[in-house]
Amino acid sequence: MSSMVNGSHDWPQNVGIINMEIYFPSAFVEQSELESYDGVSAGKYTIGLGQTRMGFCSDNEDVNSLSLTAVSRLVKKSGISYGDVGRLEVGTETIVDKSKSVKSVLMKLFEDSGNSDVEGVDNTNACYGGTAALFNCVSWIESSYWDGRYAIAVCADIAVYAKGSARPTGGAGAVAMLIGKDAALILDRGLRATHVQHVYDFYKPDMSSEYPLVDGPLSIQCYLAALDKCYQLFCQKALKKKNMSCDLSTFDAVLFHTPFCKLVQKSMARLALNDFVKTSKDERLAKFPGMDKFLEVELEKSYFDKEVEKAFMTFSKDLFEAKTKPSLNVATNVGNMYTPSLYGGLVSYLCSISPEELAGKRVGLFSYGSGLVSSFFSLRISSDIAPMSPLSMLKRSLNDVQSRLESRTKIPPADFEAIMQLRESVHHKSPYVPVAKPDDLFPGTWFLGSVDEKHRRHYDLAKPIQNGHA
């Protein structure tokens, strides 16, 4: 695998994602049942937010166990050894220890291989950490420090909100990505746009609680404003650096960080509005028939303009159905996984069509983490669909996602709420032995076995995977 020769090597080409693994909890609550349990109007969570089911963890899973599961499965499915990995980056906003990184816990998996020469630590800024982890891995492979080995980026979070309007936008899960050259999903080199800003839209100042402080409407405005900025800058850079004029037709698929699916549909409409605004007035009416009454619209004043939103959602409906909806399967069925959300979208999109249809497609991706950090970047799917190609391997690796989604256990809302209360009451408790049963987890899942009197966490593996299936 290594092309490294005496510290010098050809600059690696086609760097990106070789393989992916997704983990989500085995338990879910039905959003329609939650609506009636919470006493809100029928349709508020399912139609208003676009959420179908929400995955959640009991007291025997934490961010370390989620990451252990995703990384161990990725390594196994990829047929590599832990010695083949030279960088491991974590993205998370679920903090179990203020000093010791999740990355350091993951080194437990590397012990038998004897490989401790593994760069990278944790990346934290709300839902953005996974993207920072991915970018760091790609940068390492493209740098003078690369030693020819693979990198792994893993993002994992448990997204839980206090009881109230934000709770149905929770979720949990992890995505691990194997990064290297000659990848199945090749990041467009030299082209990405970032917007970072100091704002308190969502943050976690209370160390004794898992719950964030969130200003819902402000977080939505910040998300949409960051999308505007990143998309505009990406298009400017595409023209300047690649001589490529960019609009929605540039992308075969557009994927978004997904706090809830309705916001993503609005985001597609937002990109159509951006295309409309940047088109010269003479051309606008030809390219955007029926939108003449919006000729004077200003982006900054339209975040909550229902008339503009509705008109551009209608205008972009077919674009949304074709380019974005296939990426929402995990998001609507598991919920907001925070850092893995965008990459759960990528998994959903890859699962939605055949290798023949995926080959050569260009995908735009928008990553957002409150606080705020955001990026718009793009990747190209390899055109090589030979049976042993990275793309075919990646597709095979994700074969079990739908069956795993369907084999989860539905938990009644009252039991879900009791588990949320349990998590609240035992948060950071020490010593502690979780009450949830490992047998309820998917086979092959790492879980929290105990926390000792010094807050040291001990992990075990639930019953092993049989016949390669979890």
Nearer to ligand ACO among residue 219 and residue 316 (C-beta):
219
Nearer to ligand ACO among residue 344 and residue 355 (C-beta):
344
Nearer to ligand ACO among residue 68 and residue 222 (C-beta):
222
In whole angstroms, the minimum distance from the beta carbon of 42 to ligand ACO comes to 6
Nearer to ligand ACO among residue 169 and residue 274 (C-beta):
169
Task: Please give the torsion angle defined by the CA atoms of residues 313, 230, 251 and 135, in that order, rounded to the nearest 10 degrees.
Answer: -130
Measured between alpha carbons, how far is 392 from 382 in angstroms, rounded to an integer?
10
In whole angstroms, the minimum distance from the beta carbon of 213 to ligand ACO comes to 11
Task: Please give the torsion angle defined by the CA atoms of residues 34, 38, 44 and 46, in that order, rounded to the nearest 10 degrees.
Answer: 0
In whole angstroms, the minimum distance from the beta carbon of 50 to ligand ACO comes to 9
Which residue's CB comes closest to ligand ACO?
Answer: 48
In whole angstroms, the minimum distance from the beta carbon of 370 to ligand ACO comes to 5
Nearer to ligand ACO among residue 50 and residue 434 (C-beta):
50
Please confirm, yes or no, whether 195 is among the known catalytic residues: no
Nearer to ligand ACO among residue 223 and residue 288 (C-beta):
223
21, 57, 61, 127: which one is catalytic?
A: 127
In whole angstroms, the minimum distance from the beta carbon of 157 to ligand ACO comes to 10
In whole angstroms, the minimum distance from the beta carbon of 123 to ligand ACO comes to 16
Q: Nearest Cα to 234, choosing from 275, 287, 286?
A: 275
In whole angstroms, the minimum distance from the beta carbon of 134 to ligand ACO comes to 18
Residues 6+ apart with CB under 8 A from 405: 24, 329, 330, 333, 334
30, 61, 89, 93: which one is catalytic?
A: 93
3-state secondary structure the chain: CCCCECCECCCCCCCEEEEEEEECCCEEEEHHHHHHHHCCCCCHHHHHCCCCEEEECCCCCCHHHHHHHHHHHHHHHHCCCHHHEEEEEEECCCCCCCCCCHHHHHHHHHHHHCCCCCECCEECECECHHHHHHHHHHHHHCCCCCCCCEEEEEEEEEECCCCCCCHHHCEEEEEEEEEECCCCEEEEEEEEEEEECCCCCEECCCCCCCCCEECHHHHHHHHHHHHHHHHHHHHHHHHHHHCCCCCHHHCCEEEECCCCHHHHHHHHHHHHHHHHHHCCHHHHHHHCCCCHHHCCCCHHHCCCCHHHHHHHHHHCHHHHHHHCHHHHHHHHHHCCCCCCHHHHHHHHHHHHCCHHHHCCCEEEEEEEECCCEEEEEEEEECCCCCCCCHHHHHHHHCCCHHHHHHCCEECCHHHHHHHHHHHHHHCCCCCECCCCCHHHCCCCCEEEEEECCCCCEEEEECCCCECCEC
Strand 122-123 versus strand 85-91 pairing type: parallel
Nearer to ligand ACO among residue 43 and residue 360 (C-beta):
43
Please confirm, yes or no, whether 257 is among the known catalytic residues: yes
Nearer to ligand ACO among residue 48 and residue 83 (C-beta):
48
155, 195, 222, 257: which one is catalytic?
A: 257
Q: Write out the residues near ligand ACO by the rule CB under 6 A.
A: 41-44, 47-49, 127, 165-166, 169, 202, 214, 216, 219-220, 223, 259-260, 263, 370
In whole angstroms, the minimum distance from the beta carbon of 48 to ligand ACO comes to 2
Known catalytic residues are 93, 127, 257
